[in-house]
């Protein structure tokens, strides 16, 4: 098997989330890379930071904080660029479950109980993250609110209602009491989107992703975490069964007993069996600001999903400072497969970036009636690399036939309500030497040989690319 070469590129586009100067993102805990460690975490985004957090947190809970007992494992975290320079620091800032867009597919493929377990797991993330932020005093601009999904086409409306009707019949779901469907004038008025005949709301939040990651890492630093930025892992060599690994980087080798791949879109480079299982997909996002002289823009208290069909939608949050984060814009690049599929170059915007900026410049006025009289401009437009999973579900667990090599990745552009408790499962596996089946993550997330063998790549179909190319040929 030829190993794919997916490495983060130099000089990525600047996202809004890194608009504030902050030297922490370039941290090196020691001038030189340590020669050995107990646990090596590869990846300085949400998944890597949360894994470090939970490994220390669970060690303390097991032994009792401040008591004598087993010393927590030594952990080194390496990042190829700066902290949260990948998908985490380039996303839309949502903490938003998705209870219905993929539900019918999951119920068909997995059955009612497992389909419900996915939504239930995402639901649990809201409270779990809120508690962690409060317990550890992590200031990441968390705002708890409602997500409001509006549906602008007949296909979007029908898809929403069909999925919700099916979800209502699922006795295993615990999210139904949190979902409200509005129709007609009620939908248009409460959503502030006059073009939507159906809106759907549920509890969600939004935050500053880089500040969240920074908070988790600072928790680890106080407990001995060694962080090395600008350290690219090139190869992982397994030693004898119980002797761990030699990990080759651009700054030298490091020996470790256990290694965690928190590498998402870049996973196949270090675990070739995930070529065509976790695929890099390039996307785009923007920040919009008001340009006229009004002191305050009309604040949208909800977060938004603006749905046209399954593969064409925008996601939006209104920041506490009045700015807007909105991403999507697939119609501007989807037909050019090489621009986004298996493309890891986030140093460049899409060729139609001027059209994308124009689209977002008038986006608020065209979709929300309270914004009609406001002038806006796009002051940040960036790209990022998502780790798409071929079955739309993350891969969590120990890599088959490679003891003590763990993975959490393939979050499919939807990691915010899935990563935190998945990272807890990885920490439990490492600390207790248990299999993934003894953790509390949904069974469909579990990394197994059987799942690896059976998973087929349908990304080009599911993104709408194949349908688009068929239309072009007609």
Q: What is the pLDDT of residues 108-126, one digit of tens each?
A: 999 999 999 999 999 999 9
CB contact burial 46-75 (16+ within 10 A = b; e otherwise): bbbbbbbbbbbbbbeeeeeeeeeeeebbbb
Can you name the CATH fold of 145-207+280-388?
D-Amino Acid Oxidase; Chain A, domain 2 (3.30.9)
Q: Tell me the three-class secondary structure of the chain, residue by residue.
A: CCCCCCCCCCCCCCCHHHCCCCHHHHCECCCCCCCEEEEEEECCCHHHHHHHHHHHHHHHHHHCCCCCCCCCCCEEEECCCCCCCCCHHHCCCEECCCCCCCHHHHHHHHCHHHHHHHHHHHHHHHHHHHHHHHHCCCCCCCEEEEEEEEECCHHHHHHHHHHHHHHHCCCCCCCHHHCEEEEHHHHHHHHCCCCCCEEEEEEEEECCHHHHHHHHHHHHHCCCCEEECCCCEEEEEECCCCCCEEEEEECEEEEEEEEEECCHHHHHHHCHHHCCCEEEEEEEEEEEEECCCCCCCCCCCCEEEEEEECCEEEEEEECCCCCEEEECCHHHCCCCHHHCECCCCCCCCCCCHHHHHHHHHCHHHHHCHHHCCCCEEEEEEEEEEEEEECCCCCEEEECCCCCCEEEEECCCCCCCCCHHHHHHHHHHHHHHCCCHHHCCCCHHHECCHHHHHHCCCCHHHHCCHHHHHHHHHC
pLDDT reading at 470 higher than 80: no
Q: Are 456 and 326 in contact (CB under 8 A)?
A: no
The average pLDDT across 431-443 equals: 98
Cβ count near 344 (within 10 Å): 19
pLDDT reading at 471 higher than 70: no
pLDDT tens digits, residue range 268-324? 999 999 999 999 999 999 999 998 777 678 999 999 999 998 778 999 999 998 999
**pLDDT confidence bin for 350, thresholds 50/70/90:** very high
Pick left, alpha or beta for residue 192 (phi over 0 → left; psi -120 to 50 → alpha; otherwise beta): left
pLDDT tens digits, residue range 137-154? 999 999 999 999 999 999
Separation CA 460–CA 276 (nearest Å): 12
**What are the structural domain ranges in the chain?**
16-89+210-278+391-461, 145-207+280-388
Confirm whether 16-89+210-278+391-461 and 145-207+280-388 share one CATH topology: no
Q: Are 18 and 210 in contact (CB under 8 A)?
A: yes
Separation CA 103–CA 166 (nearest Å): 8
Separation CA 200–CA 147 (nearest Å): 8
Q: pTM for this one?
A: 0.96
pLDDT reading at 425 higher than 50: yes
pLDDT reading at 235 higher than 60: yes
Contacts of 436 (CB under 8 A, 6+ apart): 396, 397, 398, 425, 429, 446, 447, 448
**pLDDT confidence bin for 1, thresholds 50/70/90:** low
pLDDT tens digits, residue range 47-93? 999 999 999 999 998 765 444 446 899 999 999 999 999 999 999 99
Separation CA 316–CA 328 (nearest Å): 9
CATH number of 16-89+210-278+391-461: 3.50.50.60
Separation CA 279–CA 285 (nearest Å): 19
Separation CA 459–CA 300 (nearest Å): 33
Mean model confidence pLDDT for the chain: 95
Q: Which residue has the tokens 């401040």?
A: 66
Percent of the chain with pLDDT over 70: 96
């Amino acid at each position: 098997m030829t190993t794919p070469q997916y490495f983060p590129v130099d000089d990525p586009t600047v996202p809004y989330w890194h608009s504030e100067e902050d030297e922490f993102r370039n941290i090196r805990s020691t001038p030189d890379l340590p020669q050995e460690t107990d646990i090596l975490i590869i990846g300085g985004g949400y998944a890597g930071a949360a894994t470090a957090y939970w490994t220390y947190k669970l060690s303390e809970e097991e032994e009792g904080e401040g008591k004598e007992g087993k010393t927590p494992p030594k952990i080194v975290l390496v990042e190829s660029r700066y902290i949260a320079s990948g998908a985490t620091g380039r996303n839309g800032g949502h903490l938003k479950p998705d209870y219905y867009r993929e539900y019918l597919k999951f119920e068909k493929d997995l059955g009612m109980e497992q389909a419900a377990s996915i939504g239930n797991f995402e639901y649990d993330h809201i409270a779990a993250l809120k508690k962690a932020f409060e317990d550890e005093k992590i200031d990441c601009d968390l705002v708890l609110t409602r997500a409001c999904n509006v549906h602008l086409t007949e296909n979007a409306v029908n898809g929403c209602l069909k999925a919700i009707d099916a979800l209502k019949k699922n006795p295993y779901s615990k999210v139904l009491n949190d979902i409200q469907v509005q129709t007609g004038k009620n939908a248009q008025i409460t959503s502030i989107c006059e073009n939507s005949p159906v809106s759907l709301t549920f509890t969600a939040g939004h935050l500053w992703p880089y500040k969240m990651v920074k908070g988790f890492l600072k928790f680890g630093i106080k407990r001995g975490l060694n962080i090395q930025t600008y350290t690219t892992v090139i190869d992982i060599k397994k030693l004898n069964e119980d002797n761990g690994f030699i990990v080759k980087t651009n700054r030298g080798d490091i020996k470790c007993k256990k290694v965690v791949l928190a590498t998402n879109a870049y996973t196949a480079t270090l675990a070739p069996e995930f070529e065509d299982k976790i695929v890099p997909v390039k996307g785009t996002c923007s920040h919009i600001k008001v340009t006229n002289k009004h002191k305050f823009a009309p604040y949208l208290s909800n977060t938004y999903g603006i749905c046209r069909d399954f593969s064409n939608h925008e996601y939006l949050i209104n920041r506490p400072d009045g700015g807007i984060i909105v991403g999507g814009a697939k119609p501007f690049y989807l037909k050019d497969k090489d621009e986004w599929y298996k493309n890891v170059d986030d140093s460049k915007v899409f060729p139609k970036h001027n059209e994308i900026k124009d689209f977002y410049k008038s986006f608020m006025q065209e979709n929300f009636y309270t914004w009609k009289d406001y002038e806006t401009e796009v002051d940040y437009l960036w790209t990022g690399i998502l780790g798409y999973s071929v079955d739309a579900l993350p891969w969590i667990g120990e890599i088959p036939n490679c003891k003590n090599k763990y993975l959490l990745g393939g979050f499919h552009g939807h990691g915010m309500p899935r990563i935190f408790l998945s990272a807890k499962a990885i920490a439990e596996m490492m600390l207790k030497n248990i299999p993934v089946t003894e953790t509390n993550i949904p069974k469909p997330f579990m990394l197994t040989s059987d799942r690896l063998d059976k998973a087929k790549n349908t990304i080009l179909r599911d993104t709408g690319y194949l349908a688009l190319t068929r239309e072009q040929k007609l």
